[in-house]
Structures are given as structure tokens and as C-alpha cells.
Amino acid sequence: MARRGQGEASGVVRLSRLAEQYRAEVKEVLGPLVAAYYPALAAAEGPEYRKMLELSAKMALVGHACTEIAGETFDAGRRRLAILFGGCCFLADSFLDDFGEEAARAYLARFERLLASGWFEIRTPRERLFYVTVALMFTERDVLAPLLRQAILALHGAQAEDVMRRLEPWRMEGLARGRQLRLLRRSARNRSGHAILLLAIFLVQNVALSYLAGLFTAGGLIMFIDDHGDCHADLREGRVTYMNRLRDPERALRRIYAGHCRRIEASLAPGRGRTLLLEFLGHYYRSRLAKHRAQRAGGGAWDVYA
């Protein structure tokens, strides 16, 4: 096995140290909000609550990298924003994926109403936690700033496209396999790519436009890695993704990972931020390969991200 260079080894150590730091900070930020607005989520610290904490720690790591790539400091305010963003992503994904067709359609319609009018009605404790978290984020940034507003709308559009494709499978009936795969690949790329762009622009509203393509590429790669890790669980639940439609998904993911990393290196300036981002993606890639193999052998899901 090749020995890591000194810079690569130090990058791994930094990633591990930051992951532990952000796991602790996530509990400090999100714990009181959950206790105040949706205490049932944290009851006995079950798997769903732990998954929210891990996803938010992941967003803090990616947000740290994005901020340093933009030449800024990932200070306490930005760390809090990234953690709140992770909590929002977890809750939004649950509305879209975990409670059936009616809940998914309702979330899309109600969030669109919020964006258009600033109005929403809270119906459940879970919604209360989500909209309180959104409000805390919106008070920290000018959400009418063109780049940030465009990023919010682009992510919402990508989510709507992904959900409607899933809820209305007739949209893909009759299409050739190649066309179906291209649509599934674009949907996966856009949903996560726009999420990372939105995170980056929340943290650094004047982020250089030249960096956005590289960050979008990193976001897309995260979704492909995620979908491979969840391949067997998705198949059991009848969910169609780009990765679980491939004949040899692990081989395909290996190519996707290598190609995306080359594009990220070409798009982003060398530095600590780019190194952190690539180290995170590498660790995440390896962990999701292991998850895929464990589930193929009959193992259960697990929720550690970094």
C-alpha cells in the first residue's frame, strides 16, 4: 500500500479532528431547538435524531471547506449557520422521502408558498422545528440578495423535479434506458449540487462565481456516493435511483469519483479548503462503499458520515 505524503496525512488528521469538534457543536446548537420545539425527536436519542446530528456535522465539515475555499474564516457564526442548514436538510428530506406522497406534495407546495409570500401555517411539532430553524437562518442573511435567492429557488426546483419523477413514474415510461439513466443522473446531481451551492452562498454571500462550478461538482458527487451506500435499502423500499439502475454500480461510482475529483481540483485553487473538501469526499466515498457491501451481506443501515 502506498504511503501517504505528509500533506495528505495532515489532511486526514485535520478532517478527523474537525469531525469530532463539529459533532459536539451540533449537539450544542440543535439540541436546545429540538428540546424546545420537537422533543419527541430526541427521545432516547434514537437513530433518527442521531442521523440528524451526523448530517449536520457533515454539513459543518463541507461548509468549513467551502468557506476556506472562498478565502474567509469559518467563525462561530458561520459554524452555527452550517449546522442549522444541516438540520433543515434533514427535516426537509424527511418530508420529501419518509411520510408518503401526500406529505411530499404538501411540503413542496407549502415551502413554495413561504418563498412567494413569507407565510406558512405550522401544523405539527416537526414542522415547527423545521420552520423555526429556517427562520433562524433567514435572519442571519439577506435572503433577497440575488445569488442567495437564486440558490434557494434552484434547490427547491431540483427537489420538486426529483419528487415528481418519483411520484409520477409515468413521466419516464416509454423512454429508452439511456434517456432514463441521464434523467436520473441529472436529478441526483442537481438535488445535492444545488444544496451545497446554497450552503456555500449562505456562508459567504460574495463567494466568487468561478468557484461555484467546483462546489456544485462536489455536491453532485456526494449524492452519487449517498445513493450507492443506500442502494440496497432503496431497492427494498421500491425507490429508483441512478446508482441502483446500473449493472455495475461500484465500478461506475469509482469512475464518477475519480472524474469529479479531477474536476474539483481543476476548478478550485489549491489550499486548505480544497484539501479538506477532497479529504472529506475520499473518506465519505470509502465509508459508503463499506456500507453498500455490509447491506448487500444482510447488514443493517448505519448513519456515520465522517
**CATH number of the domain encompassing residue 90:** 1.10.600.10
Distance between CA atoms of residues 196 and 215, nearest Å? 7
> Which of 104-108, 169-173, 239-243, 252-256 shows the lowest per-residue confidence on average (mean pLDDT)?
169-173
Task: Looking at the chain, list the stretches that DSSP marks H as alpha helix, in order from N- to C-terminal side.
Answer: 6-37, 47-69, 76-97, 100-117, 125-138, 146-167, 177-203, 212-229, 231-236, 249-267, 272-296
CB burial of residue 244 (10 Å; 0-12, 13-18, 19+): middle
Q: Quick check: is 39 in a domain?
A: yes
Q: Quick check: is 56 in a domain?
A: yes
Q: Quick check: is 304 in a domain?
A: no
| Domain encompassing residue 19 | 8-296
Q: Quick check: is 89 in a domain?
A: yes
User: Which cell goes with 280?
Assistant: 472529506
Tell me the HSE value of 104 on the side-chain side, using a 13 A CA sphere: 17
Instruction: Say if residue 192's pLDDT is above 50.
Output: yes
- Over residues 69-92, the pLDDT tens digits come to 999 999 999 999 999 999 999 999
pLDDT confidence of residue 305: 45
Over residues 249-260, mean pLDDT: 96
pLDDT confidence of residue 237: 82
The DSSP secondary-structure symbol of 243 reads G
Q: Quick check: is 45 in a domain?
A: yes
- Global pTM reads 0.91
Decide which of 10 and 131 is more confident: 131
pLDDT band at 199 (very low <50, low <70, confident <90, very high): very high
pLDDT band at 302 (very low <50, low <70, confident <90, very high): low
Angle at CA of residue 106, ends 105 and 111, nearest 5°: 105
pLDDT confidence of residue 252: 95
Total tally of structural domains belonging to the chain: 1
Around Cβ 272, how many Cβ atoms within 10 Å? 14
pLDDT confidence of residue 238: 83
Q: Quick check: is 3 in a domain?
A: no
Contact (Cβ atoms closer than 8 angstroms) between residue 196 and residue 222: yes
- Over residues 155-166, the pLDDT tens digits come to 999 999 999 988
The pair phi, psi for residue 237, each rounded to 5°, is -95, 5
Q: Quick check: is 177 in a domain?
A: yes
Around Cβ 285, how many Cβ atoms within 10 Å? 23
pLDDT confidence of residue 217: 97
pLDDT confidence of residue 234: 85
Q: Quick check: is 184 in a domain?
A: yes
